[in-house]
Amino acid sequence: MSNERVFNMSFASVYPHYVAKAEAKGRTKEELDQIIRWLTGYTKAGLAKQIEKRTSMRDFYEKAPKWNPNASLITGVVCGIRVENIEDPLMQKLRYLDKLVDELAKGKKMEKILRTPE
């Protein structure tokens, strides 16, 4: 699938897959939403509005209120690609969230997922 096709998809069409992945592994929608808000700076209401408006992936990430400065600490492999090596900034942001959702589903503690100092 081309990057442009992915960027034009609505965030609302992908969100239920994130929820299902988290819940299948015993995690909650609230934990997922916390991760999304940590990464993007959306409030609870702001995130709900983006989903309701069926905002494109491009707009969801590019117009995020406050990108977390610790996002660069997210490393690892998603879909066979190291997220820290992705050259397209928008695709990298998208894959950062994919990586965090993977970590949630694998049972990592929220403190580790949210890259908080110990």
Domains and CATH numbers, the chain: 3-113 (1.10.8.290)
Angle between helix 89-105 and 11-24 (nearest 10): 20
How many angstroms from the chain centroid is the CA of residue 19? 11
What values do phi and psi take at 87, rounded to 5?
Answer: -80, -35
51 band by pLDDT with thresholds 50, 70 and 90:
very high
109 band by pLDDT with thresholds 50, 70 and 90:
very high
The HSE-up count of residue 9 (CA atoms within 13 Å, CB side) is 12
Other residues' Cβ atoms within 10 Å of the Cβ of residue 33: 19
Query: Residue 1 has what pLDDT?
Result: 59
Query: Residue 67 has what pLDDT?
Result: 95
Instruction: Supply 118's token pair.
Output: 């110990």
The residues, ordered by sequence, that sit 6+ positions from 1 with a Cβ below 8 Å of its Cβ are none
- Give the pairing of strands 81-82 and 77-78: antiparallel
Query: Residue 118 has what pLDDT?
Result: 55
117 band by pLDDT with thresholds 50, 70 and 90:
low
Res 14 pLDDT > 80: yes
108 band by pLDDT with thresholds 50, 70 and 90:
very high
Bridge partners of 24, per DSSP, are: none
How many residues are there in the chain? Answer: 118
